[in-house]
Structure 1
Amino acid sequence: MPIKVLVVDDSALIRQLLASIIDQADDMLLVGAAQDAYVAKKMVLEHEPDVITLDIEMPKVDGLRFLEVLMKAKPTPVVMISTLTQQGAQATLRALELGAVDFVPKPKLDIAQALANYSQLIIDKIRIAAQCKPRYSTPNTSPSATTRTSTFHYSGTEKLIGIGASTGGTEAIKEVLLQFPSNAPATVITQHMPSGFTATYAQRLHSLCQIRVTEAVHNERLLPGSAYIAPGGKHLRVVRSGADYIASLGDDERESGHRPSVDVMFKSLADCAGDNAVGVLLTGMGKDGAAGLLAMKQQGCATFCQDEASSVIFGMPKVAIDMGAATEVCSLQKIPQRVMKVIEAMGAGSRV
């Protein structure tokens, strides 16, 4: 059966371009193209699409409001069409919180050519979305004291945590970091996300979490109580400088099809930190991170994979589990506590 796709966008040009791209895919069927939320609602009920592409900026009822109502009433995989601006990035992150599974960046200039260049990306994202489990997320709030990992006996700087994710990962990473205590070990994060979005994502997490969250900066020292997100388009590696761990950014070749790559980050942790690191691989499509997580395990690291039931898409974790790279497979809700228990059991150091 072909993937039934509904396009929702107030621009006739965008609707035409997306329709043309979808028509090129043998495994997809365009069931409708709606210019606003009211028409889209009728088409959702009539055609029951497998995937919806949704513009954030629409008249009458904007994309975010439509998405919120949709995910409550009839959860459906949604790929957002977002502008490459700070405001667009903030709206996109809100859309992911509300349950959208992915997004496609839309430049403000020469949109026709840009979407033509992104045609394969759009097709790939729709295919991935069709395999995802849509879920409605409640409004964003910080966890209560009872849900946070509040009792944590650790000091020192020799322990590290690495987290990797792709599709569905922005919310999964948030759920993990929300439960990290303020003195958690330095944490490095690679989430597949284009440039222009990672800084806004870091700011959003920083406003919610007990730890400091920033976009990683080349050659900065990694400190406890902080998390560092790989900038879009840059690999994030961890290297040693004397007794310190340092962030190293690079724009060298893609690995496992990505830059930033989870494999690159995990392999650097295996090389420089040995069994002083903990690896966590969350929801995502493909295989990025599996080989790197195995390298960490072979160095004696504790390694965690998100389980299928709590994953938006069980791709990257499944590949890692099948390779024997995971020491534990946990639900997303249990991963933060398990990671902190392992860190405590590893023994707190005193190096500062």
Structure 2
Amino acid sequence: MPVNVLVVDDSAFFRQRVTTILNSDPRVKVVGTAENGQVAIEKAKQLKPDVITMDYEMPVLNGIAALTEIMRSCPTPVLMFSSLTYEGARITLEALEAGAVDYLPKSYERMGKGRGSLEQVLIERVLTVSKSRVGAGRSLGSTTAASRPEPSPGSAARPRSASLRQPMSREIPRAPKSPAVADSPAPRSGSLKGKTKLVIFGTSTGGPVAIQKILTRLPASFPLPILIVQHMPKTFTGAFAERLNQQCQIQVREAVDGDQLKPGVALLAPGGEQMMVDPRQGRVRIMAGDERLNYKPSVDVTFGSAAKAYGSNVLGIVLTGMGADGRDGARMLKNSGSTIWAQNEQSCVIYGMPQAIAQAKLADHIVDLDDVSNHIKSALGY
């Protein structure tokens, strides 16, 4: 059976072009289109598509409002189209928080050309999104003021921007746990205390919400430096780091070449480049992305450099995402004596990267997203 798609965009040209591209593949079928958010809601309920492609800027009801209502009334995997600008990044992050699974850059120029890589990416992304778990890991109630960690003495939480959307708190029922990847027992309290000097997160699809959930639960006095490798375009990582910094007690910023690793500071790898750990000075090096690598930034690159720099003193955590980036780097960390955790299948939006870790038997611990922060604090004896 083909994947049924509802195409939502106020541009008749874009609707027609996306429809033509998707219908060119027998695995996909466009079952309807909508010119605004209100019509999208009505057709989502009527047609019950497997995937919805959604623009943000539309009359009557914009993409975020429509997405929020769709996730409330008829949860459906949504692929957002986004402009590659700071404002486009900010809106896309809001869409991901509201329930969208993934996003693609919107380009009228490239959509107007003949078949090529962009067309194939669209088809493959729709197929992947159709397999996602709608709402997995979306409950972000812990980031509200009532449940956010209290600042340490003498510190103050940074004010949150009034423009940020409040996280959703709706829970989605989860599938039964698979015995092959069932959560392992919680790490023993204090088991990594004194051993771990650096925490690194690697993630892709579903990662922005997962990272937000974890970091907002860490206190300002968190004792270790943190590195984050999230597959994102260059124009998005700055906005993502800024958003996290407004929401978290710890400091979060986009990494620049020469940044020093400091306790309670999380550095996000800039899109389009690679982040490596300098073994001599406790700093990160930001380097141009090698064209031979599929991912820029790459979890493998950061994990591998950390294995050389820190040996057995790294906690590497692989979160939701498609593909297998991080597996080879995790193997290097394991061979150096470091510790690897992987997110469990039930709380992943896309169970690709963590699955690659689990199947390679590299994971010391399989953990639900809701438990990651508490397990980190417990394992560090903190």
Q: Structure 2-normalised TM-score?
A: 0.83
Query: Are 1:304 and 1:330, in contact at CA under 8 Å, matched by a contact in 2?
Result: yes
SS of the residue corresponding to residue 300 of structure 1 reads coil
SS at match of 1:31: strand
Cα distance per residue 1:217-261 (max 9 Å; x no partner): 0122111111011111111111123xx311111224257621111
Q: Mapping of 1:209-288 within 5 angstroms?
A: 209-241=248-280, 244-253=281-290, 257-288=294-325
- Residues matched between the structures, number: 343
Shift of the 159–319 alpha-carbon distance from structure 1 to 2, 3 Å rule, reads same
Q: Which residue number corresponds to residue 203 of structure 1?
A: 242
Q: Which runs of 5+ in 2 are unaligned?
A: 153-188
Normalising to structure 1: TM-score of the pair? 0.90
Q: In structure 2, do the counterparts of structure 1 residues 267 and 90 end up closer, same or farther at CA, with 3 Å as the change threshold?
A: same
CA contact (8 A) 1:254 1:260 kept: no
Offset at residue 14 of structure 1 (A): 0.8
Q: How does 1:305-316 map to 2 (within 5 A)?
A: 305-316=342-353
* Counterpart Cα distance in 2 of 1:117 and 1:110: 10
Work out the CA distance in 2 between the residues paired with 1:286 and 1:309: 17
Q: 1:212 is aligned with what amino acid?
A: Q
1:321 maps onto 2:353 in alignment: no
| Secondary structure at the counterpart of residue 196 of structure 1 | helix
Q: Distance in 2 between matches of 1:245 and 1:113?
A: 47
Larger mean CA deviation between 155-164 and 211-220 belongs to: 155-164
Change in Cα spacing, 1:141 to 1:337, as seen in structure 2 (3 Å) is: closer
Matching residue of 2:156: none
C-alpha RMSD of matched pairs (Å) = 2.7
* 2:346 aligned counterpart, secondary structure: coil
Separation (CA, whole Å) in 2 of partners of 1:275 and 1:145: 37
- Higher mean displacement: 173-182 or 255-264: 255-264
Identity between Structure 1 and Structure 2 (%):
36
SS at match of 1:26: coil
> Could you tell me how far 1:317 is from its partner in structure 2?
0.4
In structure 2, relative to structure 1, the CA distance for the partners of 1:26 and 1:306 (3 Å cut) is same
The Cα offsets for residues 128-172 of structure 1, whole Å up to 9 and x where unpaired, read as: 101101118467773567664989999999811100001101100
Alignment match, 1:298: 335
- Give me the whole-angstrom Cα distance separating, in 1, the residues matched to 2:144 and 2:287: 35
1:30-58 Cα shifts (integer Å, max 9, x gaps)? 11111112322232123211000000110
Contact preservation (8 Å) 1:256, 1:288: no
Distance in 2 separating the partners of 1:311 and 1:149: 28
Offset at residue 121 of structure 1 (A): 1.7
Say if 2:198 and 2:314, in contact at 8 Å, map to a contact too.
yes
Contact 1:98 1:138 in 2 (8 A): no
Tell me the SS of whatever aligns to 1:69.
helix
* Residue 51 (structure 2) aligns with: 51
Q: Residue deviations 1:67-105, cap 9 Å, x none?
A: 000001111000001112222111100000011000011
Contact 1:149 1:179 in 2 (8 A): no
In structure 2, the residue corresponding to 1:181 is in which secondary structure? coil
Note the 1:139-158 alignment, pairs <5 A: 142-143=143-144, 148=149
Quick check: 2:44–2:70 contact (8 Å CA) kept in 1? no
CA distance in 1, matches of 2:211, 2:36: 32
Q: Residues 145 and 52 (structure 1 numbering): CA distance in 2 closer, same or farther, change over 3 Å?
A: closer
CA distance in 1, matches of 2:339, 2:292: 23
> 8 Å contact 1:97–1:171 — kept in the other structure?
yes
Q: Does structure 1 residue 81 correspond to structure 2 residue 81? A: yes
The residue that corresponds to 1:3 in the other structure is 3
| Structure 2: distance between partners of 1:157 and 1:228 | 21
Give the match for residue 122 of structure 1: 122
Which letter maps to 2:290?
A: E
Match of 2:91 in 1: 91
The alignment status of 1:162 with 2:203, answered yes or no, reads: no
Letter in 2 for 1:124: E
Cα drift, residue 107 of structure 1: 4.3
* AA at the equivalent of 2:131: Q
Does the residue aligned with 1:329 lie in a helix, a strand or coil? strand
* 1:168-187 map, 5 Å: 168-184=206-222, 185-187=224-226
Q: Aligned to 1:248, what secondary structure does the other structure show?
A: strand
Relative to structure 2, which stretch is displaced further, 149-158 or 163-172?
149-158
Q: In structure 2, do the counterparts of structure 1 residues 145 and 158 end up closer, same or farther at CA, with 3 Å as the change threshold?
A: farther
Question: Which stretches in structure 1 are left out of the alignment for 5+ residues?
Answer: 346-352
| Kept after mapping to 1: 8 A contact 2:41/2:69 | no
